[in-house]
Structure 1
């Protein structure tokens, strides 16, 4: 009976050793979770920067299109390779 108890205690000690110090142990899991949280925060910050930049690009693109439209409509400006054709409706 004493031998069985010693073997079971030894096995219990081995299991605890593996639990706390092995590659899949508690310490390693905590370290990996901390790294994951850090990476998630970094990704969130990068996502915000990307969204801001995409908004700026869209604003610039729309702004240039608006400037071009006004230059064409109000000032009659053309691009270098364009030809202006004006059609007058026929009156009866």
Structure 2
């Protein structure tokens, strides 16, 4: 009787471990989903890094040179210099 209990307990333990491997927390499915989320997040981070670099460059241009300030004032605010004529063209 006692010799049958040990293999049954071991088989049950193996079944529980297999069930957790395939369906529990940290299962194969969860790992695959997390890997997909990681890929998506890395892509979003790369896009954000590019946007940050562009904004950093624009900020440094605004701090250092007046040409960028003048360009922005002309484009966004429609400002003109004295003795200039502003002509707006639409497409």
TM tier, smaller: 0.5 to 0.7
Name which of structure 1's ranges 12-21 and 54-63 shifts more when overlaid on structure 2: 54-63
Match status 1:16 vs 2:15: no
Residues 1-80 of structure 1 mapped to structure 2, 5 A cutoff: 1-64=3-66
**Superposed displacement of residue 24, structure 1:** 2.1
TM-score by length of structure 1 reads 0.60
Tell me the CA shift for residue 12 of structure 1: 0.2
Structure 1 segments (4+ residues) deviating >2 Å: 60-63
Query: Structure 2: which 5+ runs fail to align?
Result: 70-91
Question: Number of matched residues?
Answer: 68
Structure 1: gaps (5+ residues)? 68-92
Q: CA deviation at 1:26?
A: 1.9
CA shift, 1:21, in A, is: 0.4
Output the aligned Cα RMSD.
Answer: 2.5
